Amino acid sequence: MTLLHRQIAAGCLLALGLLLFLIPSTDSTPPGPVPPQGLVLRGLFIGQHAAEDAAMLSALTGEIGEIIAYDGTLADPRLKTGVAFDDLRIAAREARMRGESLGARQPKVREAIHSYLDETVGISGGPVTPADRAKWVAAMNDISRACADAAK
């Protein structure tokens, strides 16, 4: 290797070292868990029926979301008001629970879902627009997902 080649190699190494020094390093710590988005019910289901209640409510609210969405595809939807959506939710829950009160068994879940629905779909019982219907479907899907996550 000639002196010129050595100088070129040394210059390349120096340039590489300088480049590595000047490029900001990235944080090498592994990323932490992604914080949950939206409704979180994990830890709110309690007691001997906690997992069963969470799974049942996940299935129920998922189905209610599908019913509301399907009803919206009909030429003359049957569910036309916020009251009708809420009545559907209550009737489905009562029929599935056969008279038992899931809210009495899971009061923290009841309150969290009540607050979530008030925030996301509002408290109006009046006529619903397609946008309102979409909010109800999304809310039912969010509740279903949060319950499924809590059942794990």
Reported as a single tens digit per residue, the pLDDT across 4-58 is 555 555 554 444 454 445 555 555 555 555 445 689 999 999 999 999 999 999 9
| pLDDT at residue 149 in the model | 95
Look at residue 34 and tell me if it is in a domain.
Answer: no
- Residue 62: the pLDDT is 95
Instruction: Encode pLDDT of 84-140 as tens digits.
Output: 998 998 898 888 888 788 888 999 999 999 999 999 999 988 999 999 999 999 999
Asked if residue 73 is part of any domain, the answer here is yes
The predicted structure's pLDDT at residue 21 = 54
Tell me if 12 is assigned to some domain: no
Identify whether 22 is part of a domain: no
Range of the domain at 123: 50-151
pLDDT given at position 20: 47
Q: Is residue 91 part of a domain?
A: yes
Average pLDDT over residues 60-72: 96
Q: Give the pLDDT mean for 59-65.
A: 95
pLDDT at 26: 54
- Give me the residues paired with residue 81 across strands: 127
pLDDT value at residue 38? 81
pLDDT of 93 reads 84
Number of structural domains in the chain: 1
Residue 6 domain flag: no
Q: Is residue 38 part of a domain?
A: no
- Total residues found in the chain within this entry: 152
Would you state the pLDDT for residue 16?
Answer: 46
Q: What is the pLDDT of residue 86?
A: 86
DSSP string, the chain: --HHHHHHHHHHHHHHHHHHHHSPPPP-SPP-PPPP-S---TTT--STTHHHHHHHHHHHHHHHHHHHHHHHHSSS-S--BHHHHHHHHHHHHHHHHTT--HHHH-HHHHHHHHHHHHHHT-S--SB--HHHHHHHHHHHHHHHHHHHHHH-
